[in-house]
Chains A and B, each alone.
Chain A
Amino acid sequence: MTYYLDQLLNGLSLGSLYALIAVGYTVVYGIVQLINFAHGEIFMIGAFGALSTWIVLSWVTGGSTAWWNLPLMLVGGMIVAVLTAVLMERFAYRPLRNAPRLAPLITAIGISIFLQEFVRLFYGQIPGFPDAKAAIPFPQLEFFTGPAIDVGGLQVHRGNFFVMAALLICWIFLWWFVNRTATGRAMQAVSQDPDTSRLMGIDVDRIIVVAFAVGASLAAVAGLASGLRYGNIDFKMGFLAGLKAFTAAVLGGIGNINGAVVGGLTLGVVEAMATTLIPGQFGGPAWKDVWAFVLLILILVFRPQGLLGAKVVDRA
């Protein structure tokens, strides 16, 4: 029993990671109907931004792994991720705003490759930074990593706690931002009707930048969480994570923030449970990606609008 609970918890924490990234896909899609396939790379860049912040700090602190490194690494990761996302929007996507849909999609793939190669080739070139051609160990901060915590007989990895708590906080913040601030209301308006939004005095270009920035911030949180959870990061970590998070966004209903969270958690749990419950040849960790994408295919066939998708009340 404990074993299954353990796996469930594992699934929820993996799912939280997917959910944090999935929000970025869904928010941008909701505003510009664009699948930003380079978003996985923003997650990777967020992790590298956090690591870089720690490396720079360590020149002063001598490599301290005290807990207070965390907020600084988080801010560093966010700044780098948001900056990358905003530049990407400004110079790659904005000129294609009125182009056929295929153009930004191919551009996204190009940006993705560019960002991966950029990190792979240049990271180690910066004096004092480790070579990024192989996986880099991520600083193991005290309190956030270390011996598992005993919760009623369950041994819970601290990184798992961190990522689940991070999702919860981000989700609450996002809810507040979207529903309780003028900018959030403007985001909803633009996602429903961009032209009429402009008539309200909303600068649609600015809202699009905000959407990219919000997605990138959460991806940076996920990047840091991922480093703490797995203990290392590498330049291609964004590829599979991005694909899974995209699956999660579609699973929950693309364009729907709550859907991204529900989709992420569902995908994480399904992956963990499939690994645990399916016996014999098709079970085990080697098959988890297969089951994740089988789930995507099933959703696309039987419920293409996603779990929480499109209960749209339109004009009466």
Chain B
Amino acid sequence: MLEVKDLVVAYGKVKAVKGISFSVEQGQVVSLLGTNGAGKTTTLRTISGLLRSESGEIWFEGERIDRTPAHKVVMKGLAHSPEGRKIFPRLTVEDNLRLGAFARKDTDGIARDLKRVYDLFEILYERRAQPAGTFSGGEQQMLAIGRAMMSRPRLLMLDEPSMGLSPIMMQRIMSTIRALQSEGVTILLVEQNAAAALKLSDRAYVLEVGQITLDGTGEQLLGDDRVKRAYLGED
């Protein structure tokens, strides 16, 4: 479904991603793991078109998208919920969600998806007329995921969805990801919390300073000594 080949991304002279290749199959949850500065966020931002790659190719559903402007990538069915949530603070919850569906024209479908998001996150419905900037971190994260769902993506990229959340909130988010997967949405996940991410993942890649150093199924990596030591905090 998504295929990244030899991707190189640079900020000026500094290469943040140094030739990585990976793929995401239909219906899977795939994780990118790694420390800060490993190039995970850069990779996602390049896939969604916010950054331009230096070389390499990105294919989505058989179409090359590495020169497609960001606003057109969304229309192809690839949504990106960015790091730090990035909700629109001075707009209401409902306006935020409607912006998620900006590229769509099917009024009925949008109304249905709005209801689906409200069913999933009741608090968003209760506070739909409030400015999103007044929300707590966890609520903003729900809004960010809901907003990304509003474009009805076939592939959803989530960057650090659990950042700064309480353990309970964290569980909510993880079970939401599972629910989305069961609805047929493919997910590419970047996560600090490696243990939680690996439990969900069909496949995972470990990035270190811009290169993929390890990959395997979620289960394989959970059992891998190097992963345990570096990312799961075990000896």
Q: Is B a genuine binding partner of A?
A: yes
A185 contacts B98, C-beta separation under 8 Å: yes
Contacting residues, chain A, for B136 (C-beta < 8 A): 316
Query: Chain A nearest CB: distance from B148 CB in Å?
Result: 8
A199 contacts B88, C-beta separation under 8 Å: no
Nearest-neighbor residue (CB-CB) of A195 within chain B: B50
Tell me whether A192 is interfacial, beta carbon within 8 Å. Answer: yes
Contacting residues, chain B, for A189 (C-beta < 8 A): 88, 91, 99
Q: How far is the CA of A312 from the CA of B131 in the complex (A)?
A: 11
Q: How far is the CA of A199 from the CA of B80 in the complex (A)?
A: 7
Q: How far is the CA of A188 from the CA of B87 in the complex (A)?
A: 12
A199 contacts B134, C-beta separation under 8 Å: no
B102 contacts A316, C-beta separation under 8 Å: no
Partner of B99, one of A185, A315, A316: A185
CB < 8 Å A-B pair total: 83
Contacting residues, chain B, for A312 (C-beta < 8 A): 89-90, 133
Query: Chain B nearest CB: distance from A236 CB in Å?
Result: 38
Tell me whether B140 is interfacial, beta carbon within 8 Å. Answer: yes
Please, how many residues of chain A have a CB less than 8 angstroms from a CB on the other chain? 22
A313 contacts B134, C-beta separation under 8 Å: yes
Among A75-104, those with CB < 8 Å from B are none
Q: How far is the CA of A200 from the CA of B97 in the complex (A)?
A: 10
A201 contacts B102, C-beta separation under 8 Å: yes
Q: How far is the CA of A155 from the CA of B70 in the complex (A)?
A: 58
Nearest-neighbor residue (CB-CB) of A183 within chain B: B102
Tell me whether B34 is interfacial, beta carbon within 8 Å. Answer: no
A201 contacts B140, C-beta separation under 8 Å: no
If A196-B82, A316-B136 touch, whether A201 touches B98 (CB-CB below 8 Å) is no
Query: Chain B nearest CB: distance from A204 CB in Å?
Result: 7
Query: Chain B nearest CB: distance from A180 CB in Å?
Result: 11
B86 contacts A196, C-beta separation under 8 Å: yes
A200 contacts B48, C-beta separation under 8 Å: no
Q: Is the interface of A mostly helix, strand, loop or mixed?
A: helix
State which of B18-26, B71-79, B190-198 sits at the interface with chain A.
B71-79
Tell me whether B118 is interfacial, beta carbon within 8 Å. Answer: no
Among B111-148, those with CB < 8 Å from A are 131, 133-137, 140, 147
A316 contacts B135, C-beta separation under 8 Å: yes
Q: Which of B71, B89, B135 has the most CB of A within 10 A?
A: B71
Q: Which of A189, A195, A200 has the most CB of B within 10 A?
A: A200
Among A178-193, those with CB < 8 Å from B are 182, 185-186, 188-189, 192-193
B90 contacts A192, C-beta separation under 8 Å: yes
Tell me whether A203 is interfacial, beta carbon within 8 Å. Answer: yes
Tell me whether B54 is interfacial, beta carbon within 8 Å. Answer: no
Partner of A199, one of B50, B89, B91, B131: B50
Partner of A201, one of B87, B103, B133: B103
Tell me whether B49 is interfacial, beta carbon within 8 Å. Answer: yes
A202 contacts B71, C-beta separation under 8 Å: yes
Tell me whether B161 is interfacial, beta carbon within 8 Å. Answer: no
Nearest-neighbor residue (CB-CB) of A182 within chain B: B102
B103 contacts A200, C-beta separation under 8 Å: yes
Partner of B133, one of A186, A197, A202, A316: A316
Tell me whether B95 is interfacial, beta carbon within 8 Å. Answer: yes
27 CB contacts below 8 A, A to B, read A185-B98, A186-B102, A188-B91, A189-B88, A189-B99, A192-B91, A195-B82, A196-B82, A196-B86, A196-B88, A197-B99, A198-B49, A198-B71, A199-B74, A199-B80, A200-B71, A201-B75, A201-B151, A202-B99, A203-B69, A312-B90, A313-B90, A313-B133, A315-B85, A315-B133, A316-B133, A316-B136
